[in-house]
Amino acid sequence: MSGDDRRVAIALTIVGVALAALGTVGLPAFYESFLYIIFSWIALATSWALLSGYAGYFSFGHGAFFGAGMYTTATLTTRFNVPFLWTLLAAGVLAAALGAGIGAVVFRVKRLRGELFGLLTLAITFVLGTIVLNTRIDGGPGVFLSAVPLPRLLASPTGTLYLLGLALALATVGAAYAIGRSRLGFGLFAIHDDEDVAEVEGVPTFRYKLVAFALSAGIAGVAGGIHAMYVGYVTVGETFSITVPLYVVLMSVLGGARHWLGPAVGATLIASSLYAFTGGQQAVLGRAAVALVLVLVILILPEGVVPAILRRRRPSMPAVEPAPALESHDAVAGEPAATAPAAALVAHDVWKAFGGIQALRGVSLQVGPGEIVGLVGPNGSGKTTLINVISGHYQTDRGRIALGEVTLSTRPAHEVAGLGVSRTYQIPRPFVHLSALDNVALAATFGAARCSPGQARAEARRWLEFTGLRRRASALPHELNLHERKFLELARALAGQPRVILLDEVLSGLNPGEIASAIGLIRQIQARGVAILFVEHLLRAVLALSDRLVVLNEGEVIATGSPHEAMRAARVVEVYLGTPHVA
Amino acid sequence: MPSLTLLGQALVSGVLAGGIYGLLALGLSLSWGLLRLVNLAHFALALLGAYLTYQLGTALHLSPWLAAAVIVPAFFLLGCGLHAVFAYFRVTEFTSLLVTFGLTVILESLIQWFWTADYRRYETPYATASLRVGPLFIPTLEMLACLTAAVLALATWAWLRFSYVGKALRASAEDPAMAAAFGVNHRRQAFLLSGVSAAYAGVAGAFIALISTLAPAQIWAWVGVVFAVVIIGGLANPIGALLAGLLIGVSESLTMAVVTPAWAPLVSFSVLIVLLIARPGRV
């Protein structure tokens, strides 16, 4: 547990104990329900942000899970006489199952990101509302819970609900903090920035999104269960309305959806200001005012209040890490640890088509440990497709790719990364909201190295040092120049402790001095026994570095062998220079 | 099993309702496809247009056609103004959804504040007129709305396909930097398109005022259905939007006739979800 973790845990405990004590004193019922409302919104907004803030999948369907929870409690207590507290568990489980079920369908379709996901989830609220209204769950008139006995945790019923709301809000905020610092949170942040790269770096994106969605929905379900008891009368019109999705989005965006405390701050601000507008026409104008705030915040302060304040409080976030700390750290870390046992990458008869275009036609090649194989060929010959197929981003149509004895070609990309295959992108694709250090630490966490988040940072520092980026550790990717971003790609590929590295045109766009240092780095990587597949247009570098050459044309291997042999093969000369027409 | 006449009548009313869906989807599809802005406020604008038509008709006794002649150009300007805000703050595809979500709630609240949440019905002599074809009745107004949708969809298609502005807009949607390098002034055309899209909301609003009973919450009933229509029809595809509107309208009204009216709201979502999962490349 780090110092930060301890401080947050202590702060949450103090707040919890103080507010619980306030409840036992016997607050006037008005304050108890006022605070309960705020707690309820904190739980809802914070739970929403677990998926939508951390992973960037904006859901407009939070009302569906809240409503599912409300109707679970309403149905179980009134029709089956289940004790109230047990129904909360059921509400949470049911809502989580609903979220997971929807996620299991929606997350399989790659196109359903961004606004399409938002619209689909918005639809879910109304679909669920229609189903509840037209079945025996409600049937139209609504459900009364006035006769349901409420366990007496405190003297008054409002006191009991106050305590339940407080417990749920604190638990949710605590969970948001813990997840933000965990492996899961790290993966979700990466999904937010670039889901495809996250998967290739080893993040099990599908599973993580599913877990986050289920958790988010489950907490909303419990909040709904408590709220059913609070309102005492549950109707479809009130439950499955646009209010919940609107407010949770607004609260989280206002407070800062990517920060664990942001939604709670936003919820407190909005829920207390809403109390000023109660009843009749005033409430209508109040809603308009809240919506106006939403519009203005998104236009003017897109990242939210909490991150903006934190930035202002620490305006001089050191762009350069304090040197002494780093020095001592390096002394502890020493030389990079030995990589996993070496193994050869073998591709055998690999085929891949996109629609009518046959990108790869039976490609076979082999890269041994400590060997550099240059992969060359004209544009469109299938080099990058081959890298995408090896890294698992695309599935092969036919053929087998293996690392040593282990088959790669049937596995999803994150498993391939976990087995020790990493790659760089021709146009660098860093995670834009993560610092250079965290970009590299992510690869150390999810690659073959499997570091804990703490270890991963130490590991990442070493690789930044190795690539000469130590002084840029806390810089965001947009602050780096092209050469630095290319080297960040390299550091990220190395931090996973791979057995195979696929380098996709790491040298393009670099100046001669930078190329020389990059070639030096690649030689050092080779010396560590890593198998390197090296795609490059810069023939001089290819000839200097490669032990063997594979020449691709229109998806077929047309020559292999030592660099000079391969480049002299008749077919290669023909492809590069054309057929001699002079007899 | 309902009688053939009933099915025929369901088919007719489905086609007519589909025309309104298509009309609403048209403007949305244009701004989403060509400006990369998801304009949820389009529905609120349409409803505002409907209430204004109602207000001008009941308070000033302005004929709906005259009211539309005032509202449609005014909405064109409103659309341009809205785009000025989007352009100034560099609103992206995703934030546009959040911003217009807020705008929708503001407009809904203002409508509710001014006209209250009570149902409003604009009584005109046209409302009850209908044609009789064999055993089937075709309400004149709804037929007119459907024809207008068809004419506007065809005209928009031709405009995008053949005019310079249309080609420039399509080029900018494809690759803004490259289009600009070839001399396309995207800013000016974006204003034009945004205005046209809002004007279409005004047209839809005028028909909605004449055909249906008005209530502020109506906005949310359209959102899901019309977005489904836009996505099924294909972005920036006017003819597709119209055909998808008809498809959804007919499947809804057949569900109402054969199963039960209460389940009709589920139809469009089911069609959408099946399409998204079966043919994800389409979107």
CB A422 within 8 A of CB A447: yes
CB B184 within 8 A of CB B81: no
Closest residue by Cα to residue A212 from A120, A302, A373, A99: A99
CB A353 within 8 A of CB A359: yes
Which residues neighbour A35 within 8 Å (Cβ) at sequence distance 6 or greater? A19, A27, A162, A165, A166
For A70-97, the pLDDT digits (tens) are 999 999 999 898 999 999 999 999 999 9
- Beta carbons of B277 and A105 less than 8 Å apart: yes
A chain contacts of residue B93, beta-carbon cutoff 8 Å: 114-115
B chain contacts of residue A58, beta-carbon cutoff 8 Å: 94, 97-98
Q: What is the pLDDT of residue A92?
A: 96
| A19-23, A138-142, A494-498, B88-92: segment of lowest average pLDDT | A138-142
Sign for the pseudo-dihedral over CA of A288, A294, A295, A297: positive
d(CA A499, CA A258): 34
CA distance B8 to chain A (A): 26
Burial B245-259 (b: 16+ CB within 10 A, else e): bbbbbbbbbbbbbee
Nearest to B265 among A108, A130, A287 (CB): A130
Is B218's pLDDT higher than 60?
yes
The overall average pLDDT reported for chain A is: 85
- Beta carbons of B280 and A120 less than 8 Å apart: no
For A103-154, the pLDDT digits (tens) are 988 888 776 676 678 778 877 888 888 888 888 887 778 888 877 888 877 7
What percent of chain A has pLDDT above 90? 38
Token pair 């199952």: residue: A97
CB A575 within 8 A of CB A558: yes
* Structure-token pair, residue A110: 């790659």
* Structure-token pair, residue A86: 């047990």
CA angle at residue B204 from B209 to B116, to 5 degrees? 40
Distance of CA A270 to the CA centre of its chain: 27
CA angle at residue A90 from A88 to A96, to 5 degrees? 105
d(CA B255, CA A502): 55
User: A279: left (phi > 0), else alpha (psi -120 to 50), else beta?
Assistant: left
The secondary structure of residue A478, as a DSSP letter, is G
- Beta carbons of B98 and A123 less than 8 Å apart: no
A chain contacts of residue B227, beta-carbon cutoff 8 Å: 119, 123
For A289-308, the pLDDT digits (tens) are 878 887 888 888 877 788 88
Question: What stretches of A334-391 show up as alpha helix (H) in DSSP?
Answer: 383-390
Token pair 């099924």: residue: B232
Average pLDDT over residues B238-254: 91
Average pLDDT over residues A144-173: 86
Q: What is the pLDDT of residue A316?
A: 44
Provide the β-strand partners of residue A374.
A534, A549
Is A339's pLDDT higher than 80?
no
Helix H or strand E encompassing A438: helix A436-446
Average pLDDT over residues A398-427: 90
pLDDT category at A581 given cuts 50, 70, 90 is: low
CB B47 within 8 A of CB B214: yes
- Beta carbons of B227 and A105 less than 8 Å apart: no
| A79-93, A204-218, A554-568, B252-266: segment of lowest average pLDDT | B252-266
- Beta carbons of A299 and B99 less than 8 Å apart: yes
Contacts by A278-285 with C-beta closer than 8 Å and gap 24+? A281/B113, A284/B109, A284/B112, A284/B113, A285/B109, A285/B113
Nearest to B106 among A242, A253, A291 (CB): A291
CATH topology of domain A345-577: Rossmann fold (3.40.50)
ipTM field: 0.82
| Class of CATH domain A32-312 | mainly alpha
Closest residue by Cα to residue A92 from A234, A210, A223, A208: A223
CA angle at residue A328 from A322 to A333, to 5 degrees? 120
pLDDT category at A338 given cuts 50, 70, 90 is: very low
pLDDT category at A324 given cuts 50, 70, 90 is: very low
All CATH 1.10.3470 domain ranges of chain A, comma separated, are 32-312
Question: What stretches of A107-204 show up as alpha helix (H) in DSSP?
Answer: 114-134, 157-181, 183-193, 195-200
Phi, psi (degrees; rounded to nearest 5) at A145: -115, 15
Q: Give which of A48, A125, A138, A242 to mutate to test B binding, by max B Cβ within 10 Å.
A: A242
Which residues neighbour B247 within 8 Å (Cβ) at sequence distance 6 or greater? B18, B232, B271
- Beta carbons of B269 and A123 less than 8 Å apart: yes
C-alpha count within 13 angstroms, C-beta hemisphere, residue A524:
14
Is A402's pLDDT higher than 70?
yes
d(CA B279, CA A367): 38
Average pLDDT over residues B36-61: 91
Report CA-CA distances (Å) from A536 to A519, B34, B104. Answer: 12, 37, 52
Nearest to B280 among A109, A133, A302 (CB): A109
d(CA B145, CA B96): 29
All CATH 3.40.50.300 domain ranges of chain A, comma separated, are 345-577
